[in-house]
Chains A and B, each alone.
Chain A
């Protein structure tokens, strides 16, 4: 593998979203030598995705607050001189925190003294009949399509699921000139009202929510609380979406009249799941917290995990929202600077208290939103037996239940018996829902655990790892006994 350049790195930050980028800037300010890596072409993560290179904002159009925040962060980063490796995927991390990357020039490894994982979240979609049909995408996916690619998911879209992304996507579609056939929200109006106190510090977001609702109202878009998708049928290039009434657990209400919508696209999402690939690979301790998205690394308020030198920050450490992520990243950075001996205890305490104060209010809001997005057990219970749960391997709910009845008690045994989680996505897409299904049999969510973290963190080819070589280059250990 290629040699890393000689200058030693104090802190390697994986993920240049709000948490990681702010952490890198703060760490640099503390005098640390920082390397920031991200698989995307620029900083911003999911929430502040840059426009594709070559795109510019149209003249006379006011950028959204989010777009301005993202642009400001990218400007600050490029002006800081921090070494950034964009377009690089982390495929392996060793126990020494040695980080193996794959980029345009091939594989490269870096050995930092400390590692901060700020890899954000992936989307959770609770399966329903027809969810794998082309044209059905996630809610976060629809957000990326609208904000980054400036593209509609379809001419007429059903927007469904739970959480703040619902309204963001629905209004984004309308503003981009598309139609929204319906918005189906697992939450009730009361669930939303309960989040109002947390919005007290964010009148801007409250106002935005009001404006979005008004926009939907003016467009005559049906907004159905306590409704989910029962099934989607493909009719040529169109969809027939069967919506169903659900209770507070997300379970279908018996004998409720189904509602049908015609659309050519569906954007559906049931919350975000913290990305724990790296921390699971390193065997850090984890705990299950449904209200924060599911399994998260067991970390203190500053992101220190059970492994010395390994830190987590941002939504990947437990959902608290983008606004809180920056302060959380900085908390981890100053903790690291202190732990590496670059910040005195007094200076660290000052910084920590300042940043904690900064973090509290946005985190309160973010966690309220996380509550709306948490996995609802009734929605999982409502998955029909012949519905695919593991997309990579076509494993159905019936097969998962059969394995549980046969005695599978943990996720890895489930994986061995059904192939659920053995595909290229490594269980990121199905893991949370499969875990809930297994836990329903076992009686305890923590007891079923999660899939053992394994390299590669993202697929890499043999050629990429092997590089150029001749037969003589293959290091041959001792020959096998006769």
Chain B
């Protein structure tokens, strides 16, 4: 799949690998986790509460709360989490299943 990253105008920072739901995701340091997951083809991040409909990033400015993920003990909008080496992300469903 051709990359969604547009490198015409920028030089990205160092390549990093982080873990999301136990899977390795390749990204560049400083990108938002939401964008990095999106570029990796991971568009669905959670399910809506009543209709169980798939949801993903939407506003990209930390307002809509659609892209929330777990980062350790913190639930944060993925669009406001910078990708870093060794970061461990869990989607809401994944953590809920893990905790049983």
Contact = CB atoms under 8 A, between A and B. Distances in A.
Interface in A1-54: 39, 41, 46, 51-54
Nearest to A175: B8
A411 interface: no
B17 interface: no
A196 interface: no
Nearest to B16: A54
Given A53-B82, A54-B30, A138 B35 contact: no
B45 A52 contact: no
A144 B51 contact: no
Contacts of B60: 137-138, 140-141, 144-145
B11 to A, nearest CB: 5
B11 A57 contact: yes
Contacts of B75: 459, 461
A325 to B, nearest CB: 16
A256 interface: no
A72 interface: no
A78 B9 CA distance: 25
Contacts of A458: 62
Contact of A151 (B6, B30, B59): B6
Main SS at interface, chain B? loop
Given A55-B11, A138-B60, A151 B43 contact: no
A176 B75 CA distance: 32
Given A54-B29, A425-B65, A429-B64, A151 B11 contact: no
A133 B11 CA distance: 31
B79 to A, nearest CB: 8
A127 to B, nearest CB: 12
A424 B65 contact: yes
Contact of A392 (B30, B65, B82): B65
A57 B11 CA distance: 6
- Among B8, B44, B58, which residue has the most Cβ atoms of chain A within 10 A? B58
A394 interface: yes
A146 B6 CA distance: 8
Given A134-B56, A135-B43, A150 B61 contact: no
Given A140-B61, A429-B64, A54 B56 contact: no
Contacts of A175: 8
B32 A52 contact: yes
A274 to B, nearest CB: 13
Range, interface on chain B: 35 or more
A53 B13 contact: yes
B97 interface: no
A388 interface: yes
A122 interface: yes
A39 B48 CA distance: 26
Contact of B13 (A54, A58, A140, A392): A54
B26 interface: no
B48 A150 contact: no
B84 to A, nearest CB: 10
Interface string B29-62: 1111001001101011100111101111111111
A41 B83 CA distance: 13
B41 to A, nearest CB: 8
B8 A394 contact: no
B95 interface: no
Contacts of A133: 54
A69 interface: no
B32 to A, nearest CB: 6
B64 A391 contact: yes
A393 B82 contact: no
Nearest to A143: B60
Interface string A374-416: 0000000000000010011110000000000000000000000
B10 A150 contact: yes
B66 A54 contact: no
Nearest to A424: B65
B63 A429 contact: yes
B44 to A, nearest CB: 5
17 contacts: A46-B61, A52-B29, A53-B29, A54-B13, A55-B30, A56-B10, A61-B9, A134-B55, A137-B60, A144-B60, A150-B7, A150-B9, A152-B5, A152-B6, A153-B4, A388-B48, A394-B53
Interface of A: 39, 41, 46, 51-59, 61, 122-123, 132-138, 140-141, 144-146, 149-155, 175-178, 237, 388, 391-394, 423-425, 428-429, 458-459, 461, 463-464
Interface of B: 2, 4-14, 28-32, 35, 38-39, 41, 43-45, 48-51, 53-66, 68, 73-75, 80, 82
The 4 A-B residue pairs whose C-beta atoms are closest, nearest first, are A54-B13, A134-B56, A52-B30, A176-B6
